[in-house]
Amino acid sequence: MTMTQGIAHRQVGEQFEGFLLIKSVDKGVTSSGKPFLTIIFRDRTGEIEAKLWDSTKEDEETFMPEAIVQVHGEIRQFRGKNQLNIRQIRLSNEMDGVRVEDFIEKAPVELEEMQDYLTQMIFALENPNIQRIVRAILKKYNDDLLTYPAATKNHHEYASGLIHHIVSMLKIARQMKDLYSEINTDLLYAGIILHDIGKVKELSSPASPTYTLEGKMLGHISMMVDEIKVTAEELGIEGEEVMLLQHLVLSHHGKGEWGSPKAPIVREAELLHLIDMMDAKMNMMNRALESVEPGEFTDRIFPLENRQFYKPTI
Amino acid sequence: MTMTQGIAHRQVGEQFEGFLLIKSVDKGVTSSGKPFLTIIFRDRTGEIEAKLWDSTKEDEETFMPEAIVQVHGEIRQFRGKNQLNIRQIRLSNEMDGVRVEDFIEKAPVELEEMQDYLTQMIFALENPNIQRIVRAILKKYNDDLLTYPAATKNHHEYASGLIHHIVSMLKIARQMKDLYSEINTDLLYAGIILHDIGKVKELSSPASPTYTLEGKMLGHISMMVDEIKVTAEELGIEGEEVMLLQHLVLSHHGKGEWGSPKAPIVREAELLHLIDMMDAKMNMMNRALESVEPGEFTDRIFPLENRQFYKPTI
Amino acid sequence: MTMTQGIAHRQVGEQFEGFLLIKSVDKGVTSSGKPFLTIIFRDRTGEIEAKLWDSTKEDEETFMPEAIVQVHGEIRQFRGKNQLNIRQIRLSNEMDGVRVEDFIEKAPVELEEMQDYLTQMIFALENPNIQRIVRAILKKYNDDLLTYPAATKNHHEYASGLIHHIVSMLKIARQMKDLYSEINTDLLYAGIILHDIGKVKELSSPASPTYTLEGKMLGHISMMVDEIKVTAEELGIEGEEVMLLQHLVLSHHGKGEWGSPKAPIVREAELLHLIDMMDAKMNMMNRALESVEPGEFTDRIFPLENRQFYKPTI
Amino acid sequence: MTMTQGIAHRQVGEQFEGFLLIKSVDKGVTSSGKPFLTIIFRDRTGEIEAKLWDSTKEDEETFMPEAIVQVHGEIRQFRGKNQLNIRQIRLSNEMDGVRVEDFIEKAPVELEEMQDYLTQMIFALENPNIQRIVRAILKKYNDDLLTYPAATKNHHEYASGLIHHIVSMLKIARQMKDLYSEINTDLLYAGIILHDIGKVKELSSPASPTYTLEGKMLGHISMMVDEIKVTAEELGIEGEEVMLLQHLVLSHHGKGEWGSPKAPIVREAELLHLIDMMDAKMNMMNRALESVEPGEFTDRIFPLENRQFYKPTI
Amino acid sequence: MTMTQGIAHRQVGEQFEGFLLIKSVDKGVTSSGKPFLTIIFRDRTGEIEAKLWDSTKEDEETFMPEAIVQVHGEIRQFRGKNQLNIRQIRLSNEMDGVRVEDFIEKAPVELEEMQDYLTQMIFALENPNIQRIVRAILKKYNDDLLTYPAATKNHHEYASGLIHHIVSMLKIARQMKDLYSEINTDLLYAGIILHDIGKVKELSSPASPTYTLEGKMLGHISMMVDEIKVTAEELGIEGEEVMLLQHLVLSHHGKGEWGSPKAPIVREAELLHLIDMMDAKMNMMNRALESVEPGEFTDRIFPLENRQFYKPTI
Amino acid sequence: MTMTQGIAHRQVGEQFEGFLLIKSVDKGVTSSGKPFLTIIFRDRTGEIEAKLWDSTKEDEETFMPEAIVQVHGEIRQFRGKNQLNIRQIRLSNEMDGVRVEDFIEKAPVELEEMQDYLTQMIFALENPNIQRIVRAILKKYNDDLLTYPAATKNHHEYASGLIHHIVSMLKIARQMKDLYSEINTDLLYAGIILHDIGKVKELSSPASPTYTLEGKMLGHISMMVDEIKVTAEELGIEGEEVMLLQHLVLSHHGKGEWGSPKAPIVREAELLHLIDMMDAKMNMMNRALESVEPGEFTDRIFPLENRQFYKPTI
């Protein structure tokens, strides 16, 4: 299969022919009473809304979310946003050789490389209690850790985004150790590795994640704080390490309004919070600036106080 | 022993003779270089600061916190507050027949009566999973539950204040059921019983409680959320009940700024939060108004937005 | 007349035939220049938008707000919301035996029962000044009190919602008295009865209330504070009771940001505020949860911080 | 009587001899058990704390608040503030020819002049309903209006401060009319005249005002809103004027957090709020800058966000 | 050319024939695939959206922003707002005698009159350093000062709005001097003249202003603070005047959240801020009330906390 | 001279004999009328209050701020804080060989090492305009840059604290470049070097800095934004670099409430803000934790939301 140019980069008036993944489908009726489908397509570069006019019952049953289709059509504009006007559409088949993964954005670093780095950092943990707890928890969640995004939107919201976020934070942390030698790296590294793993239970799936019931009721922070307690009991580990790891996870959002019932009161907990914020913000800015030219502004970035960022020409 | 009139009700100029509990002692030196002790005494009605001038080394070793002493002195005023000027002081002995409990404020309801009511409400729990979890947790903390205050200050901050708060809330809850028949009483009652039991680990002791290290790091809410999880696992209980009980405890402060990382999203959780607030506020107002006359204002009550309350004359 | 199944419970694709009340009508023109009417219909279960295509001058004059009509049509979907496509529509006549009241939601308790309870509570007022002021004000507003909602939206926003809210609050108050015996019930009951009666002047009508000019300028709180003063003067009553009743009404929103220029500084005023909040919140939650199945979430409830509530399966 | 140099301008080390007004007296006991009095003296320039050591029972009965005394002593410093060390003190008598008014700060404009201006502005009111209401209310409060301060602290907190504030605002308002000809001066002038008259009931007395019980419960805004209603009824006046005047008074603090349950929604109400703020702020700044030299900063001014203002050298 | 009745005052159903300025044009495609243009027209009274159905390539090239056209059509309603349905449209030509200025709102005072007043106030500056700096800066920006608006929206957002705002503020300032004689008019007048001149660099053009890159990066306040420094250096002026003028400009938004990194700490700076706010708010209210009848409410005014203002009937 | 053990580490009851720097002196009078001096002494470890009883006129003239004295005395406690009771005190002389620098805390890194690193980073700047501006500004402020603290309190508030802060931030920035390769290091490094140099004009002196008049009026941010503009003009440099450097300095406090009139809208500006915050917070935490033992809490740290930090025992 030849990947066509990304759907997000097409211009109004262009013809489109290629494969797309269906993200969602809604049924509608025109003012003259005729049925149509509003389909959101996606590929790695983004999404586009499309209209399939005069849709049949069969269309409705064929073109379902998660299906890959081949589409011919034209890019038009509607209320200031691009829209794909479908002329032809058919379901893809095995012969097309297309896979769901081809249409989903993923981390910009190779998975294997990230896994290696993570393993290496776990070996660097010197406190045996901390190392055992980290290993035991990673073992439980290993598969999901490799595929989950770090969030449903805003930052690292792509396949393997979670491990990408963890690894980037570990790299910052390792540098901080050189500058501020007082840091307890066992605490800081372990905190970074564990802090967001609760997302694996908070979110429903790596591909198109939504919040689980438990996620809404308890949240990834409380779930991971529980997990550390339960794991420590299973391993028969007692001592300040357990409470400290719980505190690092519990406080990593920084304050109550942001979801942490306790603010950090251990240096490494505060630093974990700062590194988390820094990596998340850099990820957002870098990805937004990637798709604009020098001299231009990005779209508004909501979690960065809705600012638009400028790309210098120098 | 005859209990003297409470220390909080004495007037400036009065002579005092009676037994008092030492709450704290600080050593000082006058401008002319002479040592003295600043002692905070307490009895059930409140506290008073006192000065023991020209104190000796022996005095320092004798008059320690938690000791009961017999004091003669006079009530004076210093910077607008009453102060006890000590003329004579001696340590109490067995013959005096005084006990620490006699000097500490306690709940205005008999402990046995509260225990009975609590037991009765546990019997009223119909869902077996909920009942078993509640029983198991109460069993672990039973002794402390009977003696601990509900807080270090502000409301129910006296011996057995915790169970007093729980029982008052249960009584309100039972009435609410009559008015709003849709309420799931199993959830509501169990949530009320468990919501503050984490205080037993958050606070150091029933008599003069301070925050424990774990209390500062994790807080009573997170500790009890953990406890429910661990207890359910020990009992082999699974199902929505566990998550719901965790949610009720987690969300009972209402929102992030107030210490709950998740706001209530179950009706009974919201109601638990409202009843908690109502009972705490009534307790504060009732105790403050108790000691003023009709037509007067109370002192400022900090957790009630620093308001002074007026006692009507009608 | 046989009441058809409520408009809010119809599914897309269903045929509809039955009586509906017209809430509002807007005239529009299609892109091809043809006139049509957009009508909002309501019955007790809710509202639905409808389109009357190719409408005539006569249609415009016939189908006016507050009219009851018989409609044949089909439920369709437009922008994610149900819409009724009208095929036939005619004005109802006397023979149809339908009345406006049949299409407006009303309190779930019988009016007579609520009136009896209110009367009984007024008898329970022991302070003669308070009783006389309450009676005099109720006499002025009695008719409206029986029909008005307590608000235009959010809580108790149905026919007789105002008296329903008052009666529910009185029931809570009566229980509180058992738990906190210090409460002055004369103040509390009278405060509850009077606190929201100003709504009768703040809102334009019981059926489809909007804010009156005076309501926008002064608000129901200030208007009732005035009313108490004026009534007391008319009755020749002086004394602390007048000021206390004014304070209870004035402060019942709790603080400045919420519309009370003075925060409560009398115990019964604070309690009135808490009971008001509790009953309003329970009313919102109960009504939202009524229409969802166990395991589901309600829609977002704006005045409850936009939360969605979960209905447990246990 | 020769007025001595103001107490606020004395330097540490100076001898003082002159008449002072006693503002408050507190009884204390030294560490060696000897009684003394802490007296706050005041004159027009400010206040000073003083100690009368070894005070007798007779002293306590003689030197009471509101008494004028002749004092000899020395200015010392205690904890960074000036203190008057009393060597001699005696009660003033008729022969001394001193009056309380001589020791209280008053408005910098002659009372008669302000009265004239106010009268002239009332004549300028063209709408007969507005004029009659204003006249009737002024008549009720006329005496107090001439003596009361506009506040207990912060701005215009001196004798006749209330009328001074009203007159200054009227002058600004008259100028505004020239610039913005659309203004309804009847509304604006009447609103300015009435807006703060409720202070006369909110504060206890012109000399050393504290908040009255009614002031704490209802506040000057609600009391004046009531007054307008009652006065209009007494005069048999109906119509939009009554509601508009009530709205102007009700909204003049600008928003809920600042004590106005309704924000201004009439142009003249918004303008009244702005003029009130401007005159209050100018009064605070002018008085603070009066007592510093060019190149210096004032003390912090709390209601101006605790800023210190700089007096330029140009 | 005869100016037709303003576009903002037309009623639904009316025929329109006259000249209009094109503000913006967007191309669209109907559900049946036919191209059309959405044009926003404006004249001095406001804006209206229009549809040009079945538009041709030539239409797109002819009807561009800033063009003046003659239009025949009908006023219709779409989603609650007026819309102009175009029947005929042609580009204007020289013979029509219409100019862009005829379609843009401008200040309600003659430009020459405003210039004279400004010149007169500059003569009134007595401090030579201040006068020289003000003159030098005005000289640099003189042309733009005469044409620019004071903002892109909200207040004084019309041609010559900037000088209109400055002149109105100067008039208020001159009156304030009479009331508060302590004011340093040199500082106040100079501050008023300079405070918003940075807008000339912050905004792109007088006609349809947008924010410049420098405007977004630095803002008009910082740019003018720089300008004063640079100008003073060019003129060889040193001394407190430079710093004071910089402070007046820097602080005129009042506080950090509103764009001033330093709050005013000079009396004239605080007063400048208050006068700026007063003139801006009066301008907004006056213009909104101009177009409603007595007894009606204006639209919501966003920068006035989204309030709707009422126009009294008296 | 042998440096005695630091004043901050002395215990109550210990004898003290050694040299100290006088920070401030206040004159007082005892209740019995005797003069005394309250002196604040400092050395590198901290400060202590002392009382010199029965002080003479000569003492007042001898023991002035900035003087070094030799003191004999005893450590006592007053209101919970250590106090030095002076028995003997004399001014130091040349023979004592003590210098002011010996009593002032300084950066923990050698000045030469920091200078070298800074020089090296300036060489790393590739954009010639940026390099020239940075060099020119550093040249103007070089001497002060080597001695000034970065703040009067909170973080890097010691001799050479400014350059220490800059160098630490540059080190973090260099590491960030490895992780986020998109960063424009010219902008980031130059922004870091310049961002706080305005402190040199905002603060009065390196030893006991207070805010200058210009610092209070304009602040270090505005002064440096001006400086960049002026320097660029002097060097004849135009182009985006100037505006970008101004933006980096202007926005480095992150938002309006924190003193930046524009929030960062360039990636490197946001990153500069984050690195600034991280280095400042690490500096505060490290220094507070330095002086406590494992298992203990630090004092409250005000700019870290008044938190107390715990030093783990692992």
Give the pLDDT band of residue C145 (cuts 50, 70, 90): very high
Q: Which two tokens stand for residue B97?
A: 């027949």
Mark whether E and A touch (3+ CB pairs within 8 Å). yes
Q: Tell the residue number behind the tokens 């820097």, with chain if given.
A: E250
Interface predicted TM-score (ipTM) of this complex, two decimals: 0.84
Nearest CA in chain F to A170: F179
- Residue B74 to residue B17: CA distance in whole angstroms: 9
Taking the Cβ of residue E77 and every Cβ of chain C, the question of whether any pair is shorter than 8 Å is answered with yes
CA angle D202, D205, D209 (to 5 degrees): 75
A29-64 residue pLDDT tens: 776 667 888 998 988 888 899 988 888 889 988 998
D106 pLDDT exceeds 90?
no
| Contact at CB, E29 and A80, closer than 8 angstroms | no
Contact between C25 and C39 under an 8 Å Cβ cutoff? The reply is yes
pLDDT of residue F1: 34
Q: Output phi, psi for C180, to 5 deg.
A: -120, 90
Question: Identity (one letter) of the amino acid at D63?
Answer: F
| CB of D211 less than 8 A from some CB of C | no
Other residues' Cβ atoms within 10 Å of the Cβ of residue A79: 8
> How many residues in total does chain D contain?
314
Please report the residues numbered 265 through 304 in chain A whose beta carbons come closer than 8 angstroms to any beta carbon of chain B. Answer: 265-266
Minimal CA–CA distance to F35: which of F44, F26, F43? F26
Q: Please state the φ and ψ torsions of residue F185, each to the nearest 5 degrees.
A: -70, -30
Local confidence pLDDT in tens for the 314 residues of chain F:
344 578 888 888 788 888 998 888 888 777 666 788 899 898 888 889 998 888 888 998 899 888 899 999 888 877 667 889 898 999 998 888 888 778 888 888 999 999 999 999 999 999 999 999 999 999 999 889 999 999 888 889 888 999 999 999 999 999 899 889 999 999 999 999 999 999 999 998 887 788 999 999 999 999 999 999 999 999 999 999 999 999 999 999 999 999 999 999 999 999 999 999 999 999 999 999 998 999 999 999 999 999 999 999 99
- Token readout for E15 is 């025929």
Give the model confidence (pLDDT) of E124-146 as tens digits: 999 999 999 999 999 999 889 99
User: What distance, in Å, lies between the first and last C-alpha atoms of chain F?
Assistant: 39
Chain B positions in Cβ-Cβ contact with residue D51 (cut-off 8 Å): none
F219 with E262: Cβ contact below 8 A: yes
Find where tokens 């961002």 sit.
F195
Find the helix or strand (DSSP H, E) in which F234 lies.
Answer: helix F219-235
Are B218 and B161 within 8 A, CB to CB? no
Chains in contact with C, where contact requires at least 3 CB pairs less than 8 Å apart: A, B, D, E
For residue F47, what is the enclosing H or E element? strand F46-53
Q: Is the pLDDT of residue D4 over 80?
A: no
Chain A nearest C-alpha distance from C149 (Å): 34
Q: Is B184 on the interface with C (CB under 8 A)?
A: yes
E57 and chain A in contact, CB less than 8 A? no
Residue that is written with structure tokens 């009320």 in the block: B192
What the block records as the tokens of D276 is 């009130």
Chains contacting chain B through 3 or more C-beta pairs under 8 A: A, C, D, F
Average per-residue pLDDT in chain E? 90
CB atoms A29 and C80 under 8 Å: no
**Residue B7 to residue B21: CA distance in whole angstroms:** 11
Q: Does A27 touch chain C (CB under 8 A)?
A: yes
Under DSSP, is residue B69 helix (H, G, I), strand (E, B) or coil? strand
pLDDT per position as a tens digit, A207-229: 778 899 999 999 999 999 999 99
Instruction: Using an 8 Å CB-CB cutoff, list chain A residues near E27.
Output: 77
**Would you say C150 and B256 are in contact if contact means Cβ atoms under 8 Å apart?**
no
Q: What is the DSSP string of B5-44?
A: SPGGGPPTT-EEEEEEEEEEEEEEE-TTS-EEEEEEEEET
Alpha-carbon distance of F9 to F11, in angstroms, equals: 7
Q: Compute the distance between CA of residue B20 and CA of residue B41 in angstroms, rounded to an integer.
A: 6
Check if the beta carbon of residue E100 is closer than 8 Å to that of residue E69. Answer: no
CA distance E195 to E274: 13
pLDDT by residue for chain E (314 residues), tens only, comes to 344 578 888 888 788 888 998 888 888 777 666 788 899 898 888 889 998 888 888 998 899 888 899 999 888 877 667 889 898 999 998 888 888 778 888 888 999 999 999 999 999 999 999 999 999 999 999 889 999 999 888 889 888 999 999 999 999 999 899 889 999 999 999 999 999 999 999 998 887 788 999 999 999 999 999 999 999 999 999 999 999 999 999 999 999 999 999 999 999 999 999 999 999 999 999 999 998 999 999 999 999 999 999 999 99
Give the per-residue pLDDT at F32: 64
Which DSSP category does A6 fall into? P
Residue E181 near chain A (CB below 8 Å): no
- Summarize pLDDT for D11-61 with one digit per residue, the tens: 887 888 889 988 888 887 776 667 888 999 988 888 899 988 888 889 988
Contact yes or no, B with E (3+ CB pairs under 8 Å): no
Q: Record the tokens describing residue A2, joined without a space.
A: 């030849």
Domains of chain F: 3-103 (2.40.50.140), 111-288 (no CATH)
Task: Answer for the pair E220, E196: CB distance below 8 angstroms, yes or no.
Answer: yes
Q: Where are the alpha helices (DSSP H) in chain B?
A: 57-62, 111-123, 128-147, 161-179, 185-194, 199-202, 213-217, 219-235, 240-250, 267-290
Taking the C-alpha atoms of residue C156 and residue F260, their distance in angstroms, rounded to an integer, is 47
Whether residue F222 contacts residue E227, with contact meaning beta carbons closer than 8 Å, is answered with no
Cα–Cα distance, E291 to E298 (Å, whole number): 8
What does the radius of gyration of chain E's CA atoms come to, in whole angstroms? 23
Task: Say yes or no: F76 contacts chain B, CB-CB below 8 A.
Answer: yes
pLDDT tops 90 at residue C140: yes
Write the DSSP string, D187-239. HHHHHHHHTTTTHHHHBS-SSS--B-HHHHHTHHHHHHHHHHHHHHHHHT--S
| Torsion over CA: A245, F298, A257, B201 (sign) | positive
Residue with tokens 């101009």, as numbered in its chain: E290
Element housing E76 (H / E): strand E68-78
Over its C-alpha atoms, chain D yields an Rg (Å, rounded) of: 23
Phi then psi for C214, rounded to 5 degrees? Answer: -65, -35
Chain F CB contacts of D53 below 8 Å: 31
CB D102 within 8 A of CB D161: no
pLDDT in tens, C214-235: 999 999 999 999 999 999 999 9
Residue B168 pLDDT greater than 60, yes or no: yes
Number of Cβ within 10 Å of residue A95's Cβ equals 7
Beta-carbon-side half-sphere exposure of residue C125 (alpha carbons within 13 Å): 24
AA identity, residue F241? E
Judge contact between B271 and C280, C-beta under 8 A: no
Q: How far is Cα D76 from Cα D71, in angstroms, rounded to an integer?
A: 15
> pLDDT category, C31, cuts 50, 70, 90?
low
Residue of F nearest to A262 (CA): F307
Query: What pLDDT is stored for residue D159 in this prediction?
Result: 87
What single-letter DSSP state applies at residue C266? B
pLDDT tens, residue by residue, D189-244:
999 999 999 999 999 888 778 899 999 999 999 999 999 999 999 999 999 999 99
